[in-house]
Every structure is written in C-alpha cells, then in structure tokens.
Amino acid sequence: MKRRVVITACSAITPIGYGKKNIVDSLQQGRSGVKPLRDDGLLTGHIHSRVFGTVDYPIAYEFTRSQRKTMGPVAYYACQVARDVLAESGLSPDFISSGRLGVAFGSTHGSPTVQREIYKTFFQNLETEFSSIGAVDYLRSMVHTTAVNITRMFGITGRVIASSTACTTSSQAIGFGYEMVKYGMQDAMLCGGADEYDTTTVAVFDNLLACSVGYNDRPECTPRPFDKKRDGLVVGEGGGAVLLEEYEAARKRGATILAEVIGFACNNNGGDLILPNLQGITATLRLALTDAGINAEEVDYICAHATATKMGDIIESQAIEAVYGTGPHVTGLKSYTGHTMGTCGVIELIMTLYMMADGFLAPTLNLEEVDPRCGMVRHTPGVIAAKTKIASVQNFAFGGVNTCLLVKNGREAL
Amino acid sequence: MTRDDLQEKILTILVQDFEFQQPGLDDNLRDDHGFDSIDAIELLGKIERILGVPLTREEKEKAMEIRTINDILDYLEAIQQGRAQ
C-alpha cells in the first residue's frame, strides 16, 4: 500500500515571529531573530558565543493547571503549535481520538531547564530530609515529553514516535510520520519538534569551536551561511508542527492542501559523529529523489541546512552541486532564526511552505560575499518572486544522521 | 498544629498551587477537582514541609486512600499524633 500524503495545517513559534504573517514579514524585510545571549546565572559567563536565536515576545498560552503540571518550557512550545494545527485542520474530535491519528514529535533532550533544577537539587541544595525532586519532574524533562504532552492534552490515541536526533529531530519526525501515512499505518500524523532556551547546548557547540563568536556586539549579523566571513552557528529556540493526512481523505473532507510530501530519505554517515560527510549527504539527497520518483531537474528550491560552520556549508554546497547543479535556488534560513536545533527541520519546512504559498523566495540573510568554496550553487539573490513547485528541505545532525524531505506546492498537488 | 491551622495551610496550597476553585472539605478530590495520583505525590512533598518531618514509605502509601480534604486533615492529625507518641 502506497498512499499520497499531504500537509493540511502548520504552525511555528520562531525567533522571527509566531504565525504566518509575522514570519513572512521577517523573511521579506530581512529581520533577524538573533539576540544577545540571556544570562542564566550558570553557564553564560563561561561561553564565548554571546548570541542566541531568541523567542522574546509574549505568547498567550491558555493551558490549565492540569495540563501544565507535566509540561516543561519545551512542551509549552510543542503543545501550543499542536493546538494551532489541530484547530486549523478542522479535524473532528472523534477522529483525533480514533487511534487513526498519531504523533511524531521530538526535542533535542527534553527539557534542560527542568533537568537543571533536578541537578541543582542534587548538587547545590540537597535536602536530605525531604523529597526535593518533584513528582512530575521526569514527565516534564523526559526526552519524549513533547510527544506525550500533546497526546495527553488532545486525547490522541494513535502511534507515538519520539525522535531525538539533535538537528534532524523534527525532520525525522515528519519523515517517519509521512511513512506512517504513506504505508497505511495511520491516516494522519501530527509531526514536528520543539526546543527551549538552553545554554547547555550553546556550551556544547562553543566547546567544539562551532559557535559564532565574532559578532557578539552585532547579533543580527550572524549566523552567515555560505558567507566568506561566517564563523559558526548560533543556537536558537522555538517549535513547529505540521499535520500530515492521507490525500484522498483530506480532499474528501475539503481540507486545505498546503503541500504534498512526495519524498523522504534518512541515512547515516556510518562513521564520524561530528564531521559533515559529503558521501553521506549526497546519498541522502539522491535517496529522497528516488523515493519521490522525480528527477533532480524538477526541484526548484533548496532549503539548505546551512548552519554557517566552516566545513558544513562547503560540504553541503558540494552535495547540492553534485545532485542539482546550479538549477534550484538555495537559501540557508538559519540566517534568520539561528539554529533552532531539534525544531529546525519543521520550522524551515514551514517557512518554505509560506514562501511557496505567497510566491516568493527569501535570500540567505547576512550573505554579503559568497565563500568561493560555496559558490558553485545558485544562491537566492534577494527577495524574489518565485512559483516554487518542488522544494527540498535538508537537515544533517550530530551522530551522522542526514534527512531530506521533498515537498510539492499544494496548488500542484491537487 | 491544630486542625484549623492545618486546614488553613492545606486550603492555601490547594487554591494557590493546585488552582482549586472554591474547595469544600468533603468534595471528592478527583471527581470535583481533577486531583490525580501525580498531584497526590506533589502534595505529599509539600506536606513534609508543613510538618517539618519526612514521611515514611508506609505513610505515603497510606495517603493514597485519601479522597477528601477532611481525609487529608485526618491523615495529618494521625501523623502528628503518631510522631508525638
């Protein structure tokens, strides 16, 4: 059984805005969401990179205490975008709880904010007499906290996939959700990812010399994917969700079809856990084309992973050139948001859907002088009008995990 | 602490931390206020602080029989009396 899979609703909370209008405005106006790193009273003073892709606007959460009690900050993002998506979809409550809707959702490592409080209890304020660790701390911090807080809040009873593969967390979630629907295991999947504000992640990449440090006084000027003066990634936060549905059922109920997922690939480099791997990445891009049954010439937009690390951007450019030549426009959308870690795949997919719907492409922000080693692809030259038919959304993670999603414009999918 | 003292502290916790709306002493905690086993564990941590003593495993398991606020107060008084002896 192979069925067509379409995206019928989406929502994202990002450093450049919440909701389509704000995000599109930021993309069209070249507005960065990178801000100074907030002081966390613990690690900030030891970190060289003082920038962060920050969600610094108020969000009107309306969760009851019963819902909130098992949620860390990461689950707030997750449940908010999941709520938006279910409301936008118009799916009936009967279907949502029928067991035919599943959830594929993840985060890099649950809620580090809650985990930090647990460790503080152990190492700083140990109260041996009393139960200092809350009953719900595990539920708030565990690695699948986003997925199961969503099922709990909305009474979803289908399958749960809680991917947690760093930067490919949410692209894997969408890919695995696509396969669930494509092969008939579920009729719909709510997919995505979230990651909260966390200096631990910044410290990890900072230690590896992978973070941007040269623009601490000008946060909006970094990251700079493909630029000659790029100096590393910028960690960010946010959440995003998409609803995947079987095509015929979606059409029958009159759902708005935003896009069709036509291909997905996921592989591993089979070796080093950190270094980008040209062979592995190139294979991923080709596997996705094979899964979609299309030629490379049919893809007209590449949403690149493009973290702005020295080697990562070069290797990705080489892979794009090898598979696509100079055909499709290429943009590194992390230049607007920073690297939102586990949620980057879904956020970048949603930004791509918005650009498809509104007929434009945004350029890579801060790309002022293309590094010649990244110059062999067709960089999007500015905000341009474009009727994108098929886009490739590419993500690569620590651990050597690579993903590629191919999506077709909803207007083309009908 | 007297029963009235305990009642005041428990009601304050239930309203402020557990967001109970107009709690009655004989309300069913689960049916009337959605208070579940996770909440019960959370409340026991707060009770340890009220009493100033850690609860034993047996005492905590005994708390799972609680159904109303009056049951909580009975439970607290029993623990106080047990410790006093």
Q: Which residues contact B78 (CB under 8 A, 6 or more apart)?
A: none
Number of helices (H) and strands (E) in chain B: give both, helices first: 5, 0
Per-residue model confidence as pLDDT tens digits over B20-36: 999 999 999 999 999 99
The pLDDT of residue A125 is 58
Average pLDDT of span A69-93: 97
Q: Where does the pLDDT of residue A124 fall: very low under 50, low under 70, confident under 90, or very high at 90 and above?
A: low
- Which tens digit of pLDDT belongs to each residue from A35-49? 999 998 888 999 999
CA-based nearest distance A133→chain B, Å: 9
Is the confidence at residue A130, as pLDDT, over 60?
A: no
Contact call for B41 and A130, based on CB within 8 A: no
Tell me how far apart the alpha carbons of residues A349 and A112 are, in angstroms, rounded to a whole number. 25
Residue B85 has a pLDDT of 78
Give the best residue of A62, A67, A69 to mutate against chain B (max B CB count within 10 A).
A69
B58–chain A Cβ distance below 8 A for any pair: no
pLDDT single digits (tens) B5-15: 999 999 999 99
A241-259 average pLDDT score:
97
Question: Is the CA virtual torsion A336, A339, A343, A346 positive or negative?
Answer: positive
Q: Which residue has the tokens 């601490």?
A: A216
| Three-class SS state of A124 | coil
Q: Which amino acid is at A11?
A: S
- Going A11 to A169 to A137 to A117, the CA torsion angle's sign is negative
Enumerate long-range contacts of A139-143, CB under 8 Å, 24 or more apart: A139/A70, A139/B38, A140/A70, A140/A71, A140/A72, A140/A75, A140/A110, A140/A111, A140/A114, A141/A72, A141/A110, A141/A111, A141/A112, A141/A114, A141/A115, A142/A110, A143/A106, A143/A107, A143/A109, A143/A110
- Tell me if B18 and A65 make a contact (CB, 8 A cut-off): yes
CB pair distance less than 8 Å for B54 and A136: no
Percentage of chain A beyond pLDDT 90 is: 91
pLDDT (tens digit, 9 = 90+) per residue, A261-301? Answer: 999 999 999 999 999 999 999 999 999 999 999 999 999 99
Q: How far does B4 lie from chain A, in Å, by closest CA?
A: 24
Domain residue ranges in chain A: 5-413
Identity of the residue numbered A257: I
Mutation target to probe the B interface, by most B beta carbons within 10 A, among A62, A66, A127, A139 is A66
Residue in chain B lying closest to A138 (CA): B38
* Amino acid at the residue A228: K
* B43-83 confidence digits (pLDDT tens): 998 999 888 888 998 999 999 999 999 999 999 999 999 88
Residue environment code for B38-61, b if the CB has 16+ CB neighbours within 10 A, otherwise e: ebbbbbbbbbbeebeeebeeebbe
CATH annotation of A5-413? 3.40.47.10
Q: How far apart are CA A192 and CA A169, in angstroms?
A: 8
Residue among B19, B34, B45 whose CB faces A131 most closely: B45
* Structure-model confidence comparison of residues A318 and A120, the more confident one: A318
**Does the domain formed by B3-84 have CATH 3.40.1790.10?**
no
In the predicted model, what is the mean pLDDT of residues A75-101?
A: 98
Give, in order, the Cα–Cα distances in Å from A306 to each of A112, A119, A165, A333, A345: 25, 34, 17, 8, 12
Backbone φ and ψ of A397, nearest 5°: -130, 155
